[in-house]
Chain A
């Protein structure tokens, strides 16, 4: 049902320089769910997220968020409509303290105060580190901060890119638990290399292969479909 979709990406094509990175990607994200974007390295998953946000604007196709066409708008306008972004490699601001990293994400004064309790209940460590500069955080702490930063304003949709990347197993568990909890409040489009993590979090999936969305469905079915997994996800 189209009406239930918070986000609908319809056959987008994106060029980066001269490279035709996305060659027809479609993704539907129903409200209140977690959808996983799967695929091998370099398939175009991260570019899909960036194209939704307009950081690498699509040259063809449509992106419909909350009933409005948003492709071609400025990134800051798109984000301002209520989309939070947790990029690959975290992109924490190194020169800003943890508190400033959260504060800068406020769209209205007082956003942080409203969400503070929720954020620190998900990531208790951050409270202790609040005055530290971003450059002093460990990889796991940076990842938590990156997710926390996306939670500060009232976002309807979170785009999360590889939250488990480079984390120790214990931290992956913690991160998964956090994402599970926050998905009660918002909708999530998740890029995840780690199939086990994805399958435990998300309900639906979309597989991207060489810049095209090739398969989508429910993860519960995919788990029992070793052929598809072998064909699109396992490293040859």
Chain B
């Protein structure tokens, strides 16, 4: 009791704000309770709106980590990659090999690093050769990558657009397209060309990295010899070639799978793609300018545009849908489920509670997953060494370095994890949001608002912010349907849909006016 009183004294404005928000929340809840025929209270709207708010909040929350304007775009990538795995597994399998092969060469970087240091090049040479290597890389990759056969859709004719494939898949009609093969060059040459290009790319990147440090005295690097990179490289190449040689059976197997299993694979694919893209973005554009936050914001905004346009050119501009996994799609006999056992037996898409229907996927699955992610990230930050280093590194990365910790590597991992979570949000959200190239944008705004409300520096704060934004939006939508009775007005006031984003921004403005650092943020 005493400590509670103390914390109240210390954070008076926080508590006042929270109480005021709680008061408004209670008011909003009371307004949603309606009367049934016998005059008893019905809580249907309340429960549903809160649940929907939670699930909206969970989607928003999945996005946040570093202030990164490309997060929304990665969310979208997650959705599109997930869709591809579910609707066109053959395309996903076809793309797997070249991507893995392209990534493999970068694993050799430590070996290049060592060899370059042994050569002791003059500073002019060490500044020049990476450019030559880059040109060579581009020539090799530019020639071989387009030759690689990927069975895909064709945006040109309606029969073969993603829109049509999505529709067919949701109807359960699956036609496996004819697989594409290497044409003009032999498969062996094609694969070898991509591996060569990737090795060259790794060399180029190492070259640029060492020339950046070349102006320091000595630049003596540690020379521990290790063959690990070579082994990892070999494993990755082997994996890529393995998938290549069993391409058709793997595709056929995936087509025969139940959509729930495909959904799980899609989640994995989306998260790995997101994390990989995150690591790439962090190490290429963000790392050199970590200290200049404004530039990080601007650059990631640019990356956002690139990704959005990239998605548009690959999957096309029109909107399409992703069907729900079969465990959440049951209709007909026994549905909506009246009990838990019925839900499990008939895999209903809805359950009936309090005389209404709750969608199992949108309102229950997403909410639960959101909370799992929330708790998992919290545990990671609070209970693991990685989290400890992150918390310390955010405050003073120089001191963490001085303790002998490669803080840069940790930041890359964390960034990749955060971006992977965004992709997870995308693939999980896709069945309810649909796939559109504007997906990222609207979520990005919600995310920034949630971050600002919760306070930029606080993880629990951002969770609370996300929840508030989610709840607020759902309440505004609900009141848009039933209207608010305002005294002295003839008609009840119905907030129109455009008011939904406006209200979230209004909430942010109010909170920031009272508490400029957000609810739980700390002033720097």
Contact = CB atoms under 8 A, between A and B. Distances in A.
Interface string A66-106: 00111111111101100001010001011110001001110
B392 A72 contact: no
Contact of A79 (B217, B222, B388, B404): B404
B399 A93 contact: yes
Given A59-B215, A59-B216, A100-B388, A79 B403 contact: yes
A172 interface: no
Contact of A75 (B391, B396, B402): B402
B217 A87 contact: no
Interface stretch (A50-58, A123-131, A200-208): A50-58
Identify which of B216, B221, B402 gathers the most chain A CB atoms within 10 Å of its CB: B402
Interface string B212-223: 010111111110
A74 B517 CA distance: 35
A72 B403 contact: no
A60 interface: yes
Interface in B502-518: none
A115 interface: no
Given A91-B396, A93-B396, A58 B403 contact: no
A113 B422 CA distance: 39
A68 B220 CA distance: 9
Contacts of B394: 95
Nearest to B213: A72
A69 B404 contact: no
Contact of A104 (B217, B398, B403, B406): B403
Contacts of B407: 76
B401 interface: yes
Nearest to B220: A69
Nearest to B216: A72
A76 B216 contact: no
Given A55-B401, A96-B388, A96-B392, A76 B406 contact: yes
Interface residues of A, number: 35
A58 B222 CA distance: 17
Interface in B191-230: 213, 215-222
Nearest to B392: A93
B395 interface: yes
B216 A57 contact: yes
Contacts of B218: 62, 69, 71-72
Contacts of B401: 55, 74-76, 79
B46 interface: no
B220 A71 contact: yes
B404 A93 contact: no
A140 interface: no
A73 to B, nearest CB: 6
Contacts of A76: 401, 403-407
A74 B222 CA distance: 9
A153 interface: yes
Q: A-side binding surface: helix, strand, loop or mixed?
A: loop
Contacts of A12: 217
A80 B404 contact: yes
B50 interface: no
How many residues of B sit at the interface, in one of the four size bands? 20 to 34
B389 A104 contact: yes
B216 A85 contact: no
A62 B220 CA distance: 10
Given A74-B406, A95-B392, A107-B404, A61 B217 contact: yes
Contacts of B385: 103-104
A38 B278 CA distance: 47
A104 B392 contact: yes
Identify which of B216, B389, B403 gathers the most chain A CB atoms within 10 Å of its CB: B403
Contacts of A68: 220
A163 to B, nearest CB: 16
A105 B403 contact: yes
A191 B232 CA distance: 46
B391 A93 contact: yes
Contacts of A96: 388, 391-392
B311 interface: no
Given A71-B218, A76-B407, A95 B391 contact: yes
Identify which of A72, A77, A153 gathers the most chain B CB atoms within 10 Å of its CB: A72
B400 interface: yes
Contact of B402 (A59, A60, A79): A79
Given A76-B404, A79-B403, A96-B391, A57 B220 contact: no
B219 A72 contact: yes
A205 B216 CA distance: 28
Contacts of B399: 85, 87, 91, 93
A87 B219 CA distance: 24
B216 A104 contact: no
Contact of A62 (B217, B221, B396, B400): B217
Nearest to A86: B402
A83 to B, nearest CB: 8
A116 to B, nearest CB: 18
Contact of A73 (B222, B388, B396): B222
B217 to A, nearest CB: 5
B447 to A, nearest CB: 23
Given A95-B395, A96-B392, A103-B388, A73 B404 contact: no
Interface string B365-407: 0000000000000000000010011011011101111111111
A60 B48 CA distance: 68
A196 B219 CA distance: 39
B78 to A, nearest CB: 30
Interface in B159-218: 213, 215-218
A58 B220 CA distance: 12
B349 to A, nearest CB: 44
A3 to B, nearest CB: 20
B217 A58 contact: yes
A53 B402 contact: yes
Given A71-B217, A80-B404, A85-B402, A93 B222 contact: no
B11 to A, nearest CB: 15
The 9 closest A-B pairs by CB, nearest first: A79-B404, A72-B219, A80-B404, A93-B392, A75-B401, A72-B218, A85-B402, A91-B399, A72-B216
6 contacts: A12-B217, A55-B398, A57-B217, A58-B217, A72-B217, A95-B392
Interface of A: 12, 53, 55, 57-62, 68-77, 79-80, 85, 87, 91, 93-96, 100, 103-105, 107, 149, 153
Given A72-B216, A79-B404, 11 more contacts: A53-B402, A68-B220, A72-B213, A73-B220, A73-B221, A91-B396, A93-B396, A95-B391, A96-B388, A100-B388, A107-B404
